């Protein structure tokens, strides 16, 4: 009973933190979509301000500890490099696809995380967990089908042939998102390994510092012209600041969830951000949502429920089996102690008999 109570409390805490992460993700996606609608294409610059905030907050704390990093710096550099590429692909996707498609398709991260944790971390999943993840993938396929059958696709193809501006290309945006999810999967696996081997402050501090270095170099090489063309109005500055603040909160809470639950349940918790995306598109963007989006979200939600319930039950079984093994291991030790005592008593008796004979 105590184990189940602790698991239930831990699950509620993880779900609460997951909702905070999902909210921050939805807010960041909303800001990125508004920046893209204003004709600005500067995804690396948006990520730079996020990593700069992380550096300014956590690096001084790390220096104050006066401790050497417990994990080699090049691992943090590799994680930051892959994460920067994932952020770039996601923000770039807003130039071609809608916010709803992007936030739904980021669920592909779950698929890659399951594959990577299976082969890298040795995590094993039950049949029902695979069924829940597969149900989520089925919902994602409906998003691709919805974008492919969009009534604007023919008009977009016509514009591509007669104008220099490609405009919105939903399928290209979907491909960029799926590629970004692969980067995020590797990043989550690396972060989960680092946060479980080390503390949260070092992970976030080194991640922010390495992210600043990587984005600064890539901005100088690839994005300098786009950055010079940006008209820095109060609206644009507020959008960049809003994206930085939302993503800063995302990176702050992510290590807690990864340490308590792992990469798979973390990414499954992010599926609730799709609800905010649909609400934004309907009420703020005043756009019509294809009925397949609602069906896709329902299918993804069902898959999340299936996975979460079986994850709890498997956790309970593991805890109970661990306790049973601990109790079982105590019995032989007690028997051995009794046996050793009886052997000692027998030896003492023999010595006494020999002494008596003498």
10-residue stretch averages of pLDDT, the chain, 358 residues long: 60 79 86 87 92 95 86 92 91 78 75 85 81 78 64 47 55 88 92 86 94 94 88 93 94 89 78 69 71 78 73 51 42 46 50 47
Tokens read off for 175: 């491909």
pLDDT at residue 157, as a whole number: 44
pLDDT at residue 103, as a whole number: 66
Chain centre to alpha carbon of residue 1: 31
pTM (whole model) above 0.95: no
- Please name the residue ranges forming H helices in 219-262: 224-228, 234-260
Tokens read off for 99: 């916010």
How far is residue 274's CA from residue 105's CA, in Å, rounded to a whole number?
Answer: 9
pLDDT at residue 238, as a whole number: 95
Task: Please state the length of the chain.
Answer: 358
pLDDT at residue 290, as a whole number: 73
pLDDT at residue 90, as a whole number: 85
pLDDT at residue 355, as a whole number: 45
How far is residue 224's CA from residue 3's CA, in Å, rounded to a whole number?
Answer: 55
Tokens read off for 213: 């270095």
Residue 316, Cβ neighbours under 10 Å: how many? 14
How far is residue 332's CA from residue 327's CA, in Å, rounded to a whole number?
Answer: 10
Residue 108 · residue 181 · CB < 8 Å: yes
Tokens read off for 316: 């309970």
Sign for the pseudo-dihedral over CA of 282, 285, 291, 295: negative
Tokens read off for 71: 């994990």
170-201 per-residue burial string, b: 16 or more CB within 10 A, e: under 16 = bbbbbbbbbbbbbbbbbbbbbbbbbbeeeebb
Task: Using alpha carbons, select from 181, 194, 188 the residue that is nearest to residue 85.
Answer: 181
DSSP 272: G
Angle, in degrees to the nearest 10, between helices 170-197 and 234-260: 50
pLDDT at residue 240, as a whole number: 95
How far is residue 232's CA from residue 255's CA, in Å, rounded to a whole number?
Answer: 33
**Tokens 């649909």 identify what position?**
278
Residue 300 · residue 274 · CB < 8 Å: yes
How far is residue 230's CA from residue 30's CA, in Å, rounded to a whole number?
Answer: 19
Tokens read off for 7: 């698991």
**Tokens 């593991």 identify what position?**
318
Burial of 41 (0-12, 13-18, 19+ CB in 10 A): middle
Residue 190 · residue 121 · CB < 8 Å: no
**Tokens 């490609």 identify what position?**
166
pLDDT at residue 4, as a whole number: 58
Chain centre to alpha carbon of residue 124: 18
Task: Using alpha carbons, select from 114, 93, 286 the residue that is nearest to residue 175.
Answer: 93
Query: Element (H or E) spanning 333, and its range?
Result: helix 291-357
Q: How much of the chain is helix, strand and coil, in % rounded to 5? A: 85, 0, 15
């Amino acid at each position: 009973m105590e184990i189940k109570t602790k698991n239930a409390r831990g699950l509620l805490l993880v779900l609460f933190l997951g909702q905070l992460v999902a909210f921050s993700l939805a807010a960041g996606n909303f800001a990125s979509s508004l920046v893209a609608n204003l004709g600005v294409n500067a995804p690396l610059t948006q990520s730079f301000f996020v990593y700069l905030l992380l550096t300014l907050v956590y690096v001084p704390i790390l220096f104050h500890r006066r401790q050497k990093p417990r994990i080699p710096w090049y691992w943090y550099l590799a994680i930051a490099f892959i994460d920067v590429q994932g952020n770039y692909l996601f923000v770039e996707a807003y130039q071609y696809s809608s916010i709803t498609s992007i936030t739904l398709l980021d669920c592909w991260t779950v698929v890659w995380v399951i594959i990577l944790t299976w082969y890298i971390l040795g995590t094993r999943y039950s049949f029902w967990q695979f069924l829940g993840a597969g149900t989520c993938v089925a919902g994602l396929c409906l998003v691709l089908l919805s974008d492919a059958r969009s009534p604007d696709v023919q008009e977009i193809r016509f514009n591509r042939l007669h104008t220099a501006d490609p405009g919105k290309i939903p399928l290209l945006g979907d491909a960029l998102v799926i590629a970004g999810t692969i980067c995020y999967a590797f990043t989550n696996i690396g972060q989960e390994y680092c946060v479980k081997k080390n503390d949260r402050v070092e992970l976030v501090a080194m991640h922010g510092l390495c992210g600043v270095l990587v984005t600064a170099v890539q901005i100088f090489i690839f994005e300098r012209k786009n950055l010079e063309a940006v008209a820095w109005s109060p609206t644009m500055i507020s959008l960049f600041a809003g994206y930085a603040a939302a993503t800063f909160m995302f990176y702050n809470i992510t290590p807690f969830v990864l340490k308590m639950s792992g990469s798979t349940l973390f990414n499954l918790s992010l599926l609730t951000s799709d609800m905010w995306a649909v609400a934004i598109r309907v009420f703020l963007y005043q756009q019509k949502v294809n009925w397949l989006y609602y069906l896709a979200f329902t299918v993804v939600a069902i898959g999340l429920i299936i996975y979460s319930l079986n994850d709890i039950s498997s956790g309970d079984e593991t805890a109970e089996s661990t306790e049973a093994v601990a109790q079982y291991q105590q019995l032989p030790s007690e028997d051995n102690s009794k046996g050793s005592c009886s052997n000692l008593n027998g030896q003492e008796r023999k010595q006494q008999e020999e002494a008596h004979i003498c």
